[in-house]
Chain A
Amino acid sequence: GAGVSQSPSNKVTEKGKDVELRCDPISGHTALYWYRQSLGQGLEFLIYFQGNSAPDKSGLPSDRFSAERTGGSVSTLTIQRTQQEDSAVYLCASSGVVGTGAGYTFGSGTRLTVV
């Protein structure tokens, strides 16, 4: 597609429920990233996928968080047993430039609210 697409744009869930957030990167981009942005805060790295390599999961805050990327394209971020501190905007980015950090294009994000 023309840009990075994320869905849903907004999600309200009850504490303890599981949620799935979807990211559809720019076609042909081999690198895909998930970041979390809490209210008024910076961008916190969560996970990074590059082609068929094992993902870099070093930013995932707990084992309740997981992500997969199927067929080198669409990615799903899953949060199990959501907690109120998980409330944030979850941003996905993709890049066609490998190994420099360049070329990030961000999606519009999913605003997650845990009540």
Chain B
Amino acid sequence: GENVEQHPSTLSVQEGDSAVIKCTYSDSASNYFPWYKQELGKRPQLIIDIRSNVGEKKDQRIAVTLNKTAKHFSLHITETQPEDSAVYFCASPGAAGNKLTFGGGTRVLVKP
């Protein structure tokens, strides 16, 4: 089955700086890569996703890049704000495409 590795496990940044989280996946046939944000005590919520036919996607301060050759994708948060503090999860469905395998999560702390 699909295997997803996520780094770093924790990330502390100063407000206004950028944050980058990286994930690698194992199944080269995987074609969809979402990122979820989970605030403390809340449910995970989709914040951005990318399909394998594009290399980058942006939505305001967040962007995701995909390198299919290397089988890795990254989340970029620019101009971080305290409300960006949360746990972020990447995921990949693998070849079967019917369920997501999640990375281990990155706890982001934005210091004011």
Contact = CB atoms under 8 A, between A and B. Distances in A.
Contacts of B91: 101
Contacts of A99: 97-98
A98 to B, nearest CB: 8
Contact of B98 (A42, A43, A48, A107): A48
Contact of A108 (B6, B31, B42, B49): B42
Contacts, number: 58
Nearest to B43: A106
Interface in B89-107: 89, 91-93, 97-105
Interface in A61-115: 91, 98-102, 104, 106-109
A66 to B, nearest CB: 18
Interface residues of A, number: 22
A45 B43 contact: no
A50 B99 CA distance: 10
B99 A48 contact: yes
Interface in B1-31: 1, 6, 31
Nearest to B101: A45
Contact of A42 (B46, B49, B104): B104
Contacts of A43: 44, 89, 102, 105
Q: Which of A33, A41, A56, A104 has the most CB of B within 10 A?
A: A104
A101 B32 contact: yes
B45 interface: yes
A101 B91 CA distance: 9
A73 B43 CA distance: 20
A101 B104 CA distance: 17
8 contacts: A33-B100, A43-B89, A56-B99, A91-B44, A99-B98, A101-B97, A102-B34, A104-B100
Given A42-B105, A100-B97, A102-B49, 12 more contacts: A42-B89, A43-B102, A43-B105, A45-B102, A48-B98, A56-B98, A99-B98, A100-B31, A101-B34, A101-B98, A104-B36, A104-B46
Interface of A: 31, 33, 35, 41-43, 45, 48, 50, 56, 58, 91, 98-102, 104, 106-109
